């Protein structure tokens, strides 16, 4: 009869029916119900402690992220602190030992000059940065190093030309043709002295500029930095710009850049145009753009890429299906790499923009300063460091 009476009733009404007949049983049922509720609440709290995941992970606050990056750049950058390859080279100039002067052939020079040249490697009081004043001084460094049994621990730093570095080589269709790399070949040594030198433990690091024909862990390219006063423009900015323009094109007609520009305009169905030398404000247009194309010129690295990074515009860079140690200078910075500029389309940029911007707090904007590169060079030195 009890079953019939309770059939179809709610649990609480069933409990009241039981309570009339068996009070102790009813109390036990109510206690069990409370314990179950407490366990459920505890499980809910635990779930809330898990990392929050937005239902739409691609949604982001563009203004907030741009503001964060803008403030980071403002904190770090001014006209004197912003990275510049010549400033960094000159900073270390007093510490450099010149392994070769003028057009001296370091292998065949006369005995008195050679003796002076080799003292660099044997005198412990001589500096630990070896350099020279023209290309191929790396090979002179290698000859002197092995002529003195490789006893000197040092850093190798080479004359820095804005267009060409110690390990730059001609890339057809992408750079000027200034020849290949002198790998310090010796008679009977097919591998080349260069590789023995690079892999020796007493060569701590090599610093050069521009593109490289390889990717070696000891060889570091130093950025060109901006050529114009991008840092001054940044500091004069009173607000974070509204980046309404998807892509900024401002390419000269230098060699391969013509075809690259035409390809991009075609990919955008004529919705972008080349603003080079059209009388527009270069920095102002860049500030209001999300991306800017930075094709190579005589060398691979460009001033424009660093001007863009200072102003918060994303440079579009091309690997050209190459392995190149220079590419590492852009590690941990907001850039877009493509294998080939033919692949740049509106759809690609619209997709990549939120991905790049959403990592705002992960970027190392200190790499836009001279001091970051000075610290890197000093970290490989064994003697008194230049601050």
Going along the chain from its start, the domains and CATH numbers come out as 62-82+226-368 (3.40.50), 87-222 (no CATH)
Contact indicator for 179, 172 with CB cutoff of 8 Å: no
Taking the CA atoms of 236, 241, 245 and 247 in sequence, report the sign of the dihedral they define.
Answer: positive
Locate 59 and state its tokens: 């949604």
pTM above 0.85, yes or no: no
Q: Does residue 261 or residue 133 have the better pLDDT?
A: 261
Q: How far apart are CA 177 and CA 198, in angstroms?
A: 25
Residues in the chain: 387
- What gap in Å lies between CA 265 and CA 55, rounded to an integer? 37
pLDDT digits (tens, 9 = 90+) for 201-219: 999 999 999 999 999 999 9
Two tokens, residue 86: 């010549």
Distance, C-alpha 191 to centroid of its chain: 32
What are the tens digits of pLDDT across the range 115-172?
888 999 999 889 999 998 766 678 888 888 999 999 999 999 987 789 999 999 999 9
Element (H, E) at 117: helix 111-122
What DSSP element (H or E) covers 282?
helix 282-287
- Whether the pLDDT of residue 385 is over 80: the answer is no
Give the pLDDT mean for 67-86.
Answer: 96
Enclosing H/E stretch for 316: strand 314-318
User: Residue 10: CA atoms inside 13 Å, Cβ hemisphere, count?
Assistant: 3
Spatial contact of 303 and 228, defined as CB atoms under 8 Å apart: yes
pLDDT value at residue 354: 97
pLDDT of res. 11: 46
Say what percent of the chain tops pLDDT 70.
78
Cβ–Cβ < 8 Å for 321, 339: yes
CA distance 53 to 47: 12
Per residue in 179-196, is it b (16+ CB within 10 Å) or e — as a string? eebeebeeeeeeebbbeb
Task: Please report how many Cα atoms fall inside a 13 Å half-sphere around the Cα of residue 163, on the Cβ side.
Answer: 10
Mean pLDDT of the chain: 84
For 111, the token pair is 């005995």
**Could you give the dihedral angle defined by the CA atoms of residues 348, 349, 352 and 358, in that order, rounded to the nearest 10 degrees?**
-160
């Amino acid at each position: 009869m009890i079953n019939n009476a309770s059939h179809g009733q709610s649990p609480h009404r069933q409990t009241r029916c039981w309570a009339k007949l068996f009070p102790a049983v009813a109390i036990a049922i109510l206690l069990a119900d409370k314990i179950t509720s407490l366990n459920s609440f505890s499980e809910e709290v635990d779930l809330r402690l898990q990392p929050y995941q937005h239902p739409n992970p691609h949604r982001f606050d563009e203004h907030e992220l741009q503001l964060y990056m803008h403030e980071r750049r403002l904190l770090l950058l001014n006209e004197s602190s912003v990275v510049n390859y010549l400033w960094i080279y000159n900073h270390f100039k007093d510490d450099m030992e010149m392994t070769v002067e003028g057009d001296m052939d370091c292998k065949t020079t006369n005995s008195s000059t050679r003796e002076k040249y080799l003292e660099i490697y044997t005198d412990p009081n001589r500096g630990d940065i070896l350099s020279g004043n023209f290309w191929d001084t790396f090979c002179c460094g290698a000859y002197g190093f092995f002529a003195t049994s490789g006893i000197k621990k040092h850093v190798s730093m080479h004359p820095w030309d804005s267009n060409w570095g110690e390990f730059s080589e001609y890339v057809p269709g992408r750079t000027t043709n200034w020849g290949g790399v002198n790998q310090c070949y010796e008679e009977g040594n097919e591998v080349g002295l260069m590789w023995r030198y690079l892999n020796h433990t007493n060569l701590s690091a090599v610093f050069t500029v521009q593109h490289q024909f390889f990717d070696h862990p000891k060889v570091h390219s130093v950025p060109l930095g901006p050529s114009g006063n991008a840092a001054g423009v940044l500091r004069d900015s009173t607000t974070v710009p509204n980046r309404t323009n998807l892509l900024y094109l401002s390419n000269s007609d230098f060699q391969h850049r013509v075809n690259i520009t035409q390809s991009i305009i075609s990919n955008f169905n004529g919705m972008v145009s080349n603003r080079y030398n059209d009388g527009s404000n270069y920095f102002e247009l860049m500030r209001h753009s999300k991306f800017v194309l930075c094709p190579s010129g005589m060398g691979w690295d460009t001033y424009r890429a660093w001007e863009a990074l200072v102003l918060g515009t994303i440079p579009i860079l091309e690997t050209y299906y190459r392995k190149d140690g220079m590419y590492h200078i852009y590690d941990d910075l907001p850039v877009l790499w493509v294998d080939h500029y033919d692949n740049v389309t509106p759809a690609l940029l619209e997709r990549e923009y939120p991905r790049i911007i959403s990592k705002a707090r992960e970027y190392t904007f200190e790499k836009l300063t001279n001091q970051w590169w000075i610290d890197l060079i000093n970290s490989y030195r064994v003697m008194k460091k230049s601050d």
